[in-house]
Amino acid sequence: MAEEPVVSLQNVSFGYDRTRLVLSDISLVVPRGKLVALMGGSGCGKTTILRLLGGVMRPTSGSARVFGCDMTTIRVAELYGLRRRMGMLFQFGALFTDLSVFDNVAFPMRERTDLPESIIRDLVLMKLHAVGLRGAHGLMPHQLSGGMARRVALARGIALDPQLMMYDEPFTGLDPISLAIIGQLIRRLNDALGASSIIVTHDVEESLRIVDYVYFVAEGRIIAEGTPDAVRKSAAPFVRQFVHGEADGSLPFHYPAPPYREQLMGR
Amino acid sequence: MQFILALFGALGARVNGAITRLGFASRFILAVLRLSGPSFVRFTLTIREIYFAGVMSLVIISVSGLFVGMVLGLQGYDILVRYASADAVGSMVALSLLRELGPVVAALLFASRAGSAITAEIGLMKTTEQLAAMEMMAVDPIARVVAPRFWGGVISMPILAAIFSIVGIFGGYLIAVILIGVDEGAFWSQMQAAVDLGSDVGNGFIKSFVFGIAVTWIAVFEGYDAPPTAEGVSGATTRTVVWSALAILGLDFILTALMFRGA
């Protein structure tokens, strides 16, 4: 029998109300040890998928299983237990601004474990060393650059050695060097922890370099999927437009509007 | 006709919205109370908030208290001397401060100094996804962030009101006795005879405690409920100050009516 994937969504739909679905008929799997990317334009529902996986929201229909637990019926207590096995990197890091770098990384350990302070200290320094910021443990978040803050948040995300890491737009607003560093870290940490990861991103170049599999999301649907090589060679119009960054294509440049001429003429 | 209907419609929508929000706020405070365990088990969390809400408000509370007391000394003397009862200025200063001005003015200052800061901090933590990050780490932000701030405010407020009154009485003493020359013995003995521990000090304490709950409740709720944008947080901060002021003055009337019925 094949091993059950860490994440498996089958025909999942989600909407804040019945009339408008944000996600429709999403099916995807994240196998153990793999790095999977969800790509798509801004506002296409990628982040909503992460929220479903984290149990912040529940699917309207379909089946969502994380570590074998059904996310549609899970109870809050179980959900908190499940979240201990997950780590999440938020778009801008979401570091606690009133805590130092050290205390930020120590936060999940202090809150969620009974480890003595001396062991927490060693663990925090190890996590910070893994992201190259052991020397910055005494700084406050406002003293960090964007890329450093993201790395500290990454260290905090892996503090409890999660089996599933979720990254929400990890590359947004970074310079090329920081971006490459984060990309490499995501890949290395995934393999070192033996974890599985899911990256929500619209950065094509960097993610195609590091991930094992890609899903393309547009207007709440998965419209294409494949390995990075297959995606680069794909002839599908949307994938071509997205991967090569063309302004107009199968996805129109213009937001739906009445005819230009008529609107200008005031009719 | 259309206009009147629209007017009633808008009024109804506003009332509906206000009641819905009051319901949310009530459920929110129940959740805060239910999740208050860690605030007391790990009391350092609350001590930190007592520092930020209470200790950091000490300067504004003491300076304002001093000036209010000095003004009371001047005005009290000016009025009482017409009835040849200038000696009673001590009891007048003390009673005004302990019964009304101490709790009310300290609470108003507390709302604008500490309440607005609590709202802004929680609102910004929400905006920058810190609360969501906490939730994803299986840590409840209401237990970890909101409850300690709530209890920090509730504990600080009566102490601040007491300090306000004490400094105010000292200010009254400075003016009436040192500056104007009212007899010192009469000043203090009249005060001692007029002030009752239960009905004056005790009721003042109850008022400041109630105001503390109201202000901090409004502050944490507005912060937690703020739309996660710059505009949303600034609006929430303003609402904290406005609603706190209205709540303090409204509650003060109700409490005064219950406590002092000319008995």
pLDDT-wise least confident of A136-140, A228-232, B4-8, B196-200: A228-232
Q: Do A88 and B130 lie within an 8 Å CB cutoff?
A: no
Does any domain span residue B28?
A: no
Q: How far is A37 from chain B (nearest CA, A)?
A: 20
Alpha-carbon gap, residue A114 to A218, rounded angstroms: 44
User: For B42, which residue in chain A has the nearest alpha carbon?
Assistant: A111
The fraction of chain B above a pLDDT of 90, given in percent, is 87
Most confident of the following: A24-38, A67-81, B107-121: B107-121
Q: Which of these, A109, A83, A92, lies nearest to A162 by C-alpha position? A: A83
User: For A105, which residue in chain B has the nearest alpha carbon?
Assistant: B137
Domain span holding position B65? 35-259
The fraction of chain A above a pLDDT of 90, given in percent, is 19
Q: Which of these, B76, B107, B113, lies nearest to B191 by C-alpha position? A: B76
The confidence score (pLDDT) of residue A131 equals: 87
Contacts of B125 in chain A (CB under 8 A): 96-97
The confidence score (pLDDT) of residue A76 equals: 82
The confidence score (pLDDT) of residue B143 equals: 93
Q: How far is A250 from chain B (nearest CA, A)?
A: 33
Does any domain span residue B119?
A: yes
Q: What is the CA radius of gyration of chain A?
A: 20
Chains A, B: CB contacts within 8 A come to 47
What's the pLDDT band for B262 if we cut at 50, 70, 90?
low
Q: How far is B113 from chain A (nearest CA, A)?
A: 19
Q: Give, as one character, the DSSP assignment of residue B198.
A: I
The confidence score (pLDDT) of residue A1 equals: 45
pLDDT of residue A42 exceeding 80: no
**Residue B102: how many CB atoms within 10 A of its CB?**
32
Q: Using CB atoms, which residue from A80, A94, A107 is nearest to B129?
A: A94
Contacts of A98 in chain B (CB under 8 A): 121
Average pLDDT in chain B? 93
- Terminal Cα distance for chain A, rounded: 65
Contacts of A111 in chain B (CB under 8 A): 137, 139, 144
CB contact burial A142-154 (16+ within 10 A = b; e otherwise): eebeebbbbbbbb
User: For A80, which residue in chain B has the nearest alpha carbon?
Assistant: B138
The confidence score (pLDDT) of residue B263 equals: 53
Q: What angle do CA B68, B74, B75 make, to 5 degrees?
A: 85
pLDDT of residue A169 exceeding 50: yes
Counting the structural domains of chain B, the total is 1
Domain boundaries, chain A: 97-161
Q: Do A83 and B129 lie within an 8 Å CB cutoff?
A: no
Alpha-carbon gap, residue A159 to A114, rounded angstroms: 14
- A163 touches B at CB < 8 Å: no
Q: Do A92 and B144 lie within an 8 Å CB cutoff?
A: no
Interface of A with B in 34-63 (CB under 8 A): 54, 56
What residue has token string 């303090």? B248
What's the pLDDT band for A250 if we cut at 50, 70, 90?
low
Q: Which tens digits make up the pLDDT trace of B27-77? A: 999 999 999 998 898 899 999 999 999 999 999 999 999 999 999 999 999
Q: Using CB atoms, which residue from B124, B128, B137 is nearest to A108?
A: B137
What's the pLDDT band for A230 if we cut at 50, 70, 90?
confident
Q: Give, as one character, the DSSP assignment of residue A213.
A: E
What residue has token string 């996986």? A53
Contacts of A83 in chain B (CB under 8 A): 135-138
pLDDT of residue A145 exceeding 80: yes
The confidence score (pLDDT) of residue A251 equals: 66
The confidence score (pLDDT) of residue A203 equals: 83
- A126 touches B at CB < 8 Å: no
pLDDT of residue A254 exceeding 70: yes
**According to DSSP H, which parts of chain B are helical?**
2-34, 37-41, 43-53, 58-80, 89-95, 102-110, 116-127, 130-136, 141, 147-173, 184-194, 203-225, 230-259
The confidence score (pLDDT) of residue A267 equals: 64
The 3-state secondary structure of B208-219 reads HHHHHHHHHHHH
| Element containing residue A29 per DSSP (H, E) | strand A23-30
Q: What's the full length of chain B, in residues? A: 263
- A80 touches B at CB < 8 Å: yes
pLDDT of residue A245 exceeding 80: no
Q: Which tens digits make up the pLDDT trace of A180-224? A: 888 888 898 888 888 899 999 888 888 888 899 999 888 888 888
Q: Which residues pair with A215 in a beta bridge?
A: A38, A225
Q: Which tens digits make up the pLDDT trace of B219-260? A: 999 999 999 899 999 999 999 999 999 999 999 999 999 998
Contacts of A95 in chain B (CB under 8 A): 130
Q: How far is B49 from chain A (nearest CA, A)?
A: 12
pLDDT-wise least confident of A13-27, A116-130, B127-141, B190-204: A13-27
**Residue A170: how many CB atoms within 10 A of its CB?**
27
Q: Using CB atoms, which residue from B130, B134, B138 is nearest to A84?
A: B138
Q: Using CB atoms, which residue from A80, A94, A98 is nearest to B133?
A: A94
Is residue B150 within 8 A of residue B51, CB to CB? The reply is: no
Is residue A124 within 8 A of residue A109, CB to CB? The reply is: yes
What's the pLDDT band for B153 if we cut at 50, 70, 90?
very high
User: For B128, which residue in chain A has the nearest alpha carbon?
Assistant: A94
Q: Which residues pair with B36 in a beta bridge?
A: none
What mean pLDDT comes out for the span B125-131? Answer: 91
Q: Phi-psi bin for A88: left (phi > 0), alpha (psi -120 to 50), beta?
A: beta
Integer angstrom CA distances of residue B113 from B221, B234, B241: 17, 15, 9
Three-state DSSP class for B144? helix
Q: Which tens digits make up the pLDDT trace of B97-127? A: 999 999 999 999 999 999 999 999 999 999 9
Q: What is the CA radius of gyration of chain B?
A: 22
**Residue B76: how many CB atoms within 10 A of its CB?**
22
